Structure 1
């Protein structure tokens, strides 16, 4: 089964992607400005056909792409993933007009997408969104649309920690259309970046990819901008996250494998205490533990992705488990690699210095580790209660 043993053609594609990332994508990444969208890099992802694969293949292929790219160029991996995260709701829930307008540019790498869910007061608690979608009224106070006509709203509030903001060309925005309704009162909107009243600022974060805050000052949206159905946007968000959470784990795996490969090479050649570092039992056991945890997490990621592709039961639990284990594992592996390399790994520009900064964020975004544990427990108890 693919969950446990990749087919030869999959192994070959992964090797090809690692080479492409090292030879064609990393040079473009190195020319980019930290904290800003690297449009030449995104365009190259489009030319290579990788962005098109976001919408033409399954969760396992997405995981293999993200893991392979992350091994050789984390910036390319992140650029690809952010295009997928921002545009998947349009692909899965958009109208034909919405898909025709935006997805060709996303596939080509000419249009930048973003997923705008988190808020200053609603990060992990996604159901507590406060960005308001108020019914639009004319100056006389009457509704601006007929009762049987298209809906119109004004978005008012803030979003924060939004990847690709404020430089994206459009945002998948989740706003509250029904007050005090929790997850049931949220609607997903496709909001072009040039809508009046929408502004944004960049945030200076630990990770080098672009992250910003958005402010909505009565931004106009209509029924033509709705993704899916009004008040059903939480389903759009969770469906997207169920697909991408295992692949966040794959991103982490790529970094863990890169750190492990660097550690194997370093400990095999580094002289210490009359021999090589690898000859010290404590070092050898540490490297074995790094490899063990990485492989265990990889199997869980592949299994979760395969379950998603096959429409198996328990996808939310599997996705949460995969994301949780892989991101926590990558943090451990990268930290251990830094320790075994010593001070050289802390030099600005060293591979491990880069990975050390990159590896921390995945334990927080798309649901922090604590949220994943909550999802897992909820699903376990729901299964128990459903038994006869």
Structure 2
């Protein structure tokens, strides 16, 4: 399995994570190091100037990065989502996003501007207005939240709704550029965890997307368009990998803590306490099931499996299982490690705050259950 991230790079990233979290600062130095290592081209094919990793390999690398610095991994995820979508299409003979792969190889950084407050439709609808510019392009007007990597993106994928079409409303998927203007990034990221991601709100006020950067115009609602399928599957798989990486690190810290701490009752390390041993083992028991699932689902994308709508069930379920398992593992690790993890200087305490963000990413628990129920029972009548 190919790797880009060296142990030295990961240790440097880990060494900065606590400071970024404490200062609520963007991961500037991490990003510079990751760029220099060629990591932002992980999913760009070699023939287009990239590293040529598969989605499965990149998911594993994202897990390793998340174990060192969760917020850095989460923000980089959004760039990888777009290169992953472009690769998804490229390998299925749709070259409409080849320009994105080429620009990523040239150093452009991609952000994900789809999330909106109160919009539980996610890819199926939008509160943002997409207004035709008369030349085949659009301007976008609305507010996006959780725009990870806000200080650094140079290209932002956006979704808006055009209600002016004579054929009925359409959802417009397009890209705007940082130097194109028409937007404001708010300084409003002061959160419990994932602080270095600086996932600030973005107010679109006429941000332009020319005709050649309008990728899809689709009817609102469910779609099996490869562009939508590529977004959904890549997003869910890479999110699952990030949170599983957090769980990996939490378990590692729990083992270190139980071997280091001793019991006054017995004089032995807590790793010899049957209750503590059960707790650590139970965390590992659950965690051991997740990476094989990530590998299996990602390999299906890499192998061009044609599952149609079944991909939504497979990847939504993976994301929920991974994030919920990660929360459980971190919780067990804290219980096994003791009160020192409650201090703000504790890495495990920081992971406890960071892992909470997993419940807010789509697909959330309710949405995943609805997707799976529909696959089994059909749509609600």
* TM-score band, normalised by shorter chain: 0.7 to 0.9
Q: What residue number does 2:7 align with? A: 19
Structure 1 match to 2:154: 169
- In the alignment, structure 1 residue 133 sits paired with structure 2 residue 121: no
Do the aligned partners of 1:124 and 1:367 also contact (CA within 8 Å) in 2? no
TM-score (norm 1): 0.81
Q: Does 2:104 match 1:106?
A: yes
Q: Which residue of 2 aligns with 1:3?
A: none
Distance of aligned partners of 1:330 and 1:184 in 2 relative to their CA distance in 1, 3 Å threshold: farther
Quickly say closer, same or farther: Cα 1:18–1:30, change in 2 above 3 A: farther
Partner of 1:222: 210
Q: Among 127, 136, 143, which residue is 1:151 paired with?
A: 136
- Deviations 1:221-277 (CA, angstroms, capped at 9, x unpaired): 3312202x3226964344212123122111111111111111112212321121221
Which residue matches 1:315? 311
CA contact (8 A) 1:87 1:114 kept: no
Contact 2:170 2:218 in 1 (8 A): yes
**What TM-score, normalized by structure 2, do the two folds share?**
0.82
The equivalent position to 1:49 in structure 2, one of 23, 38, 61, is 38
Cα 1:300–1:93 change in 2 (3 A) is: closer
Closer/same/farther in 2, CA of residues 220 and 257 from structure 1, 3 Å limit:
closer
Count of equivalent residues:
355
Indicate whether 1:284 and 2:273 are aligned.
Answer: no
Instruction: Give the conservation status (yes or no) of the 8 Å contact 2:34–2:40.
Output: yes
Q: Deviations over 1:185-227 (max 9, x none)?
A: 2111110123342112032222211111122223333312202
1:116 paired to 2:113: yes
Instruction: Identify unmatched segments of 5+ residues in structure 2.
Output: 45-51
How far is the alpha carbon of 1:103 from its aligned partner? 4.5
Contact persistence 1:170–1:193 (CA under 8 A)? yes
1:195 maps onto 2:180 in alignment:
yes
Aligned-residue CA RMSD (Å): 3.1
Q: Give the unaligned 5+ runs of structure 1.
A: 1-9, 137-143, 145-149, 384-388
1:205 lines up with 2:191 in the alignment:
yes
Match of 2:47 in 1: none
Residue number in structure 1 paired with 2:286: 293
- Specify the SS of the correspondent of 2:300: helix
Matched, 1:346 2:342: yes
Cα drift, residue 122 of structure 1: 0.9
CA distance in 2, matches of 1:30, 1:281: 32
Q: Which residue of 2 aligns with 1:186?
A: 171
Cα distance change of structure 1 residues 265 and 323 upon mapping to structure 2, 3 Å threshold = same
Partner of 1:246: 237
Q: Secondary structure at the match of 2:218?
A: coil
Whether 1:380 aligns to 2:369 is: no
Provide Cα deviations, 1:38-86, integer angstroms capped at 9, x if missing partner.
Answer: 3332232122122221223322112111112222232442343122124
Q: Give distance in 2, aligned partners of 1:133 and 1:266.
A: 53
Equivalent residue for 2:296, pick from 299, 303, 313: 303
2: CA distance between counterparts of 1:327 and 1:18? 26
Instruction: Give the corresponding residue for 2:332.
Output: 336
2:69 matched residue in structure 1: 73
Partner of 1:356: 352
Distance 2:364 2:96 in 1: 35
Q: Equivalents in 2 of 1:368, 1:124: separation in Å?
A: 11
In 1, the alpha carbon distance for the partners of 2:85 and 2:57 equals: 18
- Structure 1 residues 359 and 30: CA distance shift in structure 2, 3 A: closer
Asked whether the 8 Å contact 2:55–2:299 carries over to 1, the reply is yes
1:136-156 CA-partner distances (Å, limit 9, x unpaired):
3xxxxxxx4xxxxx4143322
Partner secondary structure for residue 189 of structure 1: strand
